[in-house]
Structures are given as structure tokens and as C-alpha cells.
Amino acid sequence: MDRGASIARVAVDSPLPRLDRLFDYRVPPSLAADARPGVRVRMPVRSAGRVMDGWIVELAERSEFGGELSELESIVSPVPVLSPAVWALARRAADRAAGVASDILRLAIPKRAARVETAHLAAAPPAREPVTPVAVTGYGNAALEDAVRGGDRLALRGIPAPEAWTTTLAQLASVVLAEGRGAIIAVPDLRDVERVVPVLGRTLGAGRVVRLDAEQAPADRYRSFLRAATEDGLAVVGTRSVVYAPVRRLGLIAMWDEGDPLYQEPLAPGVHARDAALLRQELEGCALVLLAHSPSTDVERLVEVGWCRPVPFAGTAPAVIPTALQLGDDRLAEQARIPSTAWRAASEALRHGPVLVQVARPGEDAPVGSVRTASELGRAFPNARVVVADGERRVLQVGPEPALVIATRGAEPVAEGGYRAVLLLDGDRMLARESLRVAEDALRTWSNAAALAAPGARVFLVGVSGRIAAAMSTWRQPAFIAEELAERRAARFPPAVRTATITGSADAVEAALAALAEIGLAGDDVLPTALIDDATVRAIVRFDYGRGADVARVLRGEILRRSAGRRPTARSRPNAPELRVRMDDLEPFTGEGTLRRGRRIEG
DNA sequence: AGCACGCCGACT
DNA sequence: GTCGGCGTGCTC
């Protein structure tokens, strides 16, 4: 503790909006030695007796608070777990989402495991070889190494070859690690973590790679977390909440397939990992690489406003052939809803190696389910080995030998040497979903599957035509996405605008809308209020990005007002918060997500 | 969340 | 008069 600093400014570990600010405490002499920014503390809140957890955010010599200060009760552990950078990020992210910083910190700081901590404190810092920077290949003379060193923001097109993205991420990370800085590598799901970790290990050295994801055992997760917080020059890899990892001297945040809906955080306040990454890049000045075969409309918007720079790959696009669903004379093909040209190509390819068949849904029940498709194709190709890969049957990889691999989208195994043919079935079904994001989502998942094809292998996109099929066959997804964004802009739909979904009692929602009207948010940008049930209504407002801070501030004020208001009484139902706010719901106009039950999605 | 403060109906 | 109902507000 600094000489003379006898005041600790503490963030309270509580989801209550009223406690979402810093509180000053006196540091008693007995705790002074360990009272450092970032440590977890316990302190009395409201007239002795009640003790809460929190973190010291900063130390000060004097307090602005007029009243009598209480003393910190104890320091839970001398290990700093909340870095100034992560605190700043949590504050920014919560403010932007009209939420509470400690809700973000819940994602950022894993539960303490005392034994892990003891072992960590006892261990000597590991001796490691310096990292050798590896050239970033496949992008011509784009000078990506300099861009990354210079803290640029890039929308990078993935190289369309099996697992090329893992190599690109490892090469990018090597550039910053070679300078003694750290990198955050975010991927959508655990399968992707498992794929990228060995590649990073080979490129950077195994001791340089740290896994950090919510599915780890608590002790493992805390061990990884402590390593990230204390060692320089690490690549920290994980799923969406890895963007909050306490990486030291952060030089790069790289995100694979940023359009994957798994990056949307379901826990309050529902901050998308991409948005958190953008905020963190701004705060820390590190490089940001959004790597994808087919970017989201959100990233296209960032490109168009000049916030990040698109970088194409230099190489050959997959051979994608849109195939109308004109059924031929083959009855078996007809059963399996595969056009005869694609059928013949698949039969031929199957003599040489694995063939991927992407379907929309898992299981046997759906007319298009993975298991049902597998049995149909199994009958048609009695000599072929059939592999089913979906959410339940996880298959990471298949060998180079012939096999029919039936996979739901996102669950496709990687084939050694690449698939000899890829059939994208059920495209029409995927596009029939009612969602603002069907088109970009379909394009993204088709593109990811197409990139698994061997060099020169053909990819058949079945039953899809028009501009979206053309985007696939020309491999010019960004052009289609740009048109998609233009349509959203014309309609004032996200991500051309931001949205806030306001749910609660009719009173509370009405008051919130009135408060928004006072800052000029009215007219067409306030969508008609919908009745959810007898006690709940929902309003949606939309607004330009420049107004986001104002809207969030006003709505936060309303939440604060209302949270002090009505309590669960006999009259009102218990646990029904009077006012909940969700900013930038992925599907604001269909209500998907907004009403999801379970953990809080509220303000 | 808890706990204190404060302003209206039945009581010694 | 005053005890205590719970509506309202605050937590360094």
C-alpha cells in the first residue's frame, strides 16, 4: 500500500443497481500491507452486521464522502484479481448496456480456489524461451505483422482451407508474444478451443498458451486465470468471456467467426463479446482482428464507418456450385433430396475420401434430421462408412479414408486433407426461419462448411438461388452482407441502429418511454408497446449509435428509480422486477432472447 | 438484499 | 397519548 493512502475505493460484488458505484472505506493498519488495487475484500455495508464482498479499485489519501467511513473488514486474499484495465472495461461495458459492472465482473473473475492460489504463490515463475515471430501467410503483401504491432483494427477474411484460421490466429499471436506482450484468442465454442490450442502450442510453445473458459473445472479455471494475471507474453484462449481475461500488456484481441450467435452473452446485462472486444481495444489500444469467412453485418458496418479495415485473403476460393432442387431419375437421390448432379459428384468423391453433408437439424424426428439423413444415405451407399456429427454426437475430426459425414451446421468435423465433396442441404429450410439474421447466418455457416473442402473439391449448395447463392459461388460474401446492411439501414433495423428492449409493468415502461421522449427519442423510433402477459408489457426503441450513451444513461436512471420502488408484496408478484432493459437484443423484433427464462437478463 | 426511518389505525 | 403496520430510501 502506498505511503499515506489510507482510503480504499471499493466496487461492491452485488447486482443491485444502487450499489453499482465505488464506496470509500478506511484501511485499518492491520490490513494496510495487503490493501492493493485489485484484491478481493470484505466490508460492512449499512450499519455494521451485514458484510459484503468487493474489490479494491483504487487507493486514495482522502475521501470525498461527507459521512463517517467504515473500515474494511478483511482482505480475502492478497492476490489482485481485478486489474485496472478490466475494471475500466467492466465499467464501460456495463454503462453501455445500462447494466451493472459487477454483473460483468462475474464473467471476468472466476471463483477463488484457495489451494490453487497457495500453489500459485509458492511456484517460481516459469522460465521460457522467447517467442519467435512467424510470418502471417496467405494475405499477400498485406504487412499484417506491422498492422498488429501498430494496434490496427482489421476485418480479416479467413483463408478458405480446413483449419487455416487456427494457423492465422497462431501467426498473429506470435507477432505480439515475440514482443513480450499478451494476446486474447476468442472462439465461439469448446470444439474450436480444442482445435486452436494445439496449433497455438506448436507455434508459440505449450507454456505460452492458457485455456480459459467457463466449462473448465473451477480449480483449472482459477489456475489459468492466475497465470493470465501474472505472466507476460501469454496467449489466452477461450469462449466468449475470454474477452475479459486479465491479460498483461495486451497486444492483440483476435476473434474467430465473430458472427456466431454463441458470442452473445446470455447473462445480464447481455453484452456481446464482440462489443466488449471493441471497447477493450479502444481502452487498451491493442490490435483487434475479427477473422471470418463471412463477416456479420455488424462488422460490415464497422468497415463502412471506417472503424476497421477489411483485409482479403490472397488465394483461391472454394468451387461452390448452387444447385436447384430439380430431382433427377434417381429414386434414392430423390429420397435424400439431393439433386442428381450433386449426387453423382458425391458418389464419385466418396471413392477417394470423406464427403461432408451439412443438414439443418439434428436427430430423426425432423424430416431433415441428421440421423434420418444418415440412414437414408446409408441405404443409398451400403458400402460407405457413415459418421453423424451434431450437438450430441461430437466428432472433431475424421480421417482421409472414404466416409459419409452427416453434420448439423457448426458441428462439422474437420477431415484430414479436406473433404472430397461438400453437400450443403436444407438451405431453403435455413432461409425460411423468421429472423433478421437468417441470411447472414446461413451465409456464414455455409462458408465455414465450404472451407472444409479439399483443394479443388466441389461444394454443392442445394436448393438456393438468387443473390445469396451468387455470393457463395463467387465467394464474395462481404458484397452480399453490404447489401444486407443497406436494407437494414433503409428499414432502420439493427445493426444499422441500436435498440433497447424495455420490459416491465405498464407504469414503469410508460415512465421509461416518457424519460426517453425528454431526450428526443420519439416517433417512429418507439415501436408499439406489446402486451406480454397481464402484468407485463414490452416496448422497443431504436436509436443511432451516437445516442447510445444518452439512452443507456436515461434507462439506467429509470431502473434505479424503480428498483427502490415497489417491493414484492402480497399484491405484486414476487421476483418480477418492475423494469428490465436489454440493449441490442440480437432479435429485437421477434422477441427471441428477450423473454428467455433462467438467469437474469435485466437491468 | 437487509435495515432504519416515518407517517396512519387499534390499544393500555 | 404510543405501539407497530409496512411503504420508502439508503448502503462509504
Provide, in whole angstroms, the distance separating residue A558's CA from nucleotide B10's C1'.
39
The nucleotide minimizing the C1' distance to residue A563's CA is C9
| pLDDT for A362 beyond 90 | no
Give the ranges where A245-337 is alpha helix by DSSP (H): 273-284, 297-304, 331-335
pLDDT at A325: 65
Determine the Cα–Cα distance for residues A556 and A67; give it in Å rounded to an integer.
26
Determine the Cα–Cα distance for residues A489 and A497; give it in Å rounded to an integer.
8
Task: Kindly report which listed range (A76-80, A308-312, A389-393) carries the lowest average pLDDT score.
Answer: A389-393
Provide, in whole angstroms, the distance separating residue A500's CA from nucleotide B6's C1'.
37
Determine the Cα–Cα distance for residues A562 and A572; give it in Å rounded to an integer.
14
State the pLDDT confidence band at A103, using cuts at 50, 70 and 90.
Answer: very high
Nucleic strand B near CB of residue A596 (< 7 Å) = no
Q: What is the average pLDDT across A198-216?
A: 95
Provide, in whole angstroms, the distance separating residue A492's CA from nucleotide C12's C1'.
44
The nucleotide minimizing the C1' distance to residue A45's CA is C11
Which residue type is seen at A13? Answer: D
The nucleotide minimizing the C1' distance to residue A14's CA is B1
Provide, in whole angstroms, the distance separating residue A505's CA from nucleotide C5's C1'.
26
pLDDT at A47: 58
A273-284 and A297-304 helices, crossing angle to 10°? 30
Task: Kindly report which listed range (A64-73, A132-141, A558-567) carries the lowest average pLDDT score.
Answer: A558-567
The nucleotide minimizing the C1' distance to residue A69's CA is C12
More confident call, A286 vs A427? A286
Q: What is the average pLDDT across A26-37?
A: 96
pLDDT at A1: 45
The nucleotide minimizing the C1' distance to residue A24's CA is C12
Determine the Cα–Cα distance for residues A601 and A586; give it in Å rounded to an integer.
13
Provide, in whole angstroms, the distance separating residue A79's CA from nucleotide B7's C1'.
49
State the pLDDT confidence band at A174, using cuts at 50, 70 and 90.
Answer: very high
Task: Kindly report which listed range (A46-55, A367-376, A395-404) carries the lowest average pLDDT score.
Answer: A46-55
More confident call, A590 vs A287? A287
Q: Closest residue to B3 by CA to C1' distance?
A: A46
pLDDT, mean over chain A: 91
Nucleic strand B near CB of residue A573 (< 7 Å) = no
Provide, in whole angstroms, the distance separating residue A277's CA from nucleotide B2's C1'.
37
| pLDDT for A576 beyond 70 | no
Footprint of strand C on the protein (CB under 7 A): A 16, 18-19, 23-26, 44-47, 63, 65, 67-70, 564-567, 569
Provide, in whole angstroms, the distance separating residue A255's CA from nucleotide B5's C1'.
52
Nucleic strand B near CB of residue A48 (< 7 Å) = no
Q: Closest residue to C11 by CA to C1' distance?
A: A46
| pLDDT for A170 beyond 80 | yes
pLDDT at A250: 98
The nucleotide minimizing the C1' distance to residue A564's CA is C9
Percent of chain A, pLDDT > 70?
92
Looking at residue A67, the DSSP 8-state letter turns out to be S
Provide, in whole angstroms, the distance separating residue A315's CA from nucleotide C6's C1'.
73
Residue for grid cell 428490465: A580
Q: Closest residue to C9 by CA to C1' distance?
A: A564
Nucleic strand B near CB of residue A574 (< 7 Å) = no
Nucleic strand B near CB of residue A569 (< 7 Å) = no
More confident call, A412 vs A363? A412
- Which residues 288 to 327 of A reach strand B, CB within 7 A? none
Provide, in whole angstroms, the distance separating residue A495's CA from nucleotide B7's C1'.
51
Q: Closest residue to B1 by CA to C1' distance?
A: A16
Task: Kindly report which listed range (A3-12, A189-198, A488-497) carries the lowest average pLDDT score.
Answer: A3-12
CB distance A245 to A212 below 8 Å: yes
Provide, in whole angstroms, the distance separating residue A563's CA from nucleotide C7's C1'.
14
Provide, in whole angstroms, the distance separating residue A12's CA from nucleotide C7's C1'.
26
Residue for grid cell 429450410: A429
Provide, in whole angstroms, the distance separating residue A4's CA from nucleotide B3's C1'.
34
| Tens digits of residue pLDDT in A411-461 | 999 999 999 999 999 898 899 988 899 999 999 999 999 999 999 999 999
Provide, in whole angstroms, the distance separating residue A502's CA from nucleotide B6's C1'.
33
The nucleotide minimizing the C1' distance to residue A46's CA is C11
pLDDT at A140: 96
pLDDT at A214: 82
More confident call, A207 vs A3? A207
Provide, in whole angstroms, the distance separating residue A594's CA from nucleotide B1's C1'.
26
State the pLDDT confidence band at A565, using cuts at 50, 70 and 90.
Answer: low
The nucleotide minimizing the C1' distance to residue A23's CA is C12
Provide, in whole angstroms, the distance separating residue A567's CA from nucleotide B5's C1'.
17
CB distance A455 to A418 below 8 Å: yes
Burial letters for A9-48: b for 16+ Cβ neighbours within 10 Å, e otherwise?
bbbbbbbebebbebbbbbbeeebbebbbbbbbbbbebeee
The nucleotide minimizing the C1' distance to residue A567's CA is C7
Helix (H, G, I), strand (E, B) or coil at A44: strand
* C chain positions with any atom within 7 Å of a protein CB: 6-12
**Residue A115: Cβ within 10 Å count:** 10
**What one-character-per-residue DSSP string does A279-303 give?**
HHHHHH--EEEEEESS--HHHHHHH
Nucleic strand B near CB of residue A571 (< 7 Å) = no
| Tens digits of residue pLDDT in A303-351 | 999 999 999 999 999 999 999 766 555 655 555 678 888 889 999 999 9
Q: What is the average pLDDT across A78-92?
A: 97
State the pLDDT confidence band at A125, using cuts at 50, 70 and 90.
Answer: confident
Q: What is the average pLDDT across A487-514?
A: 94
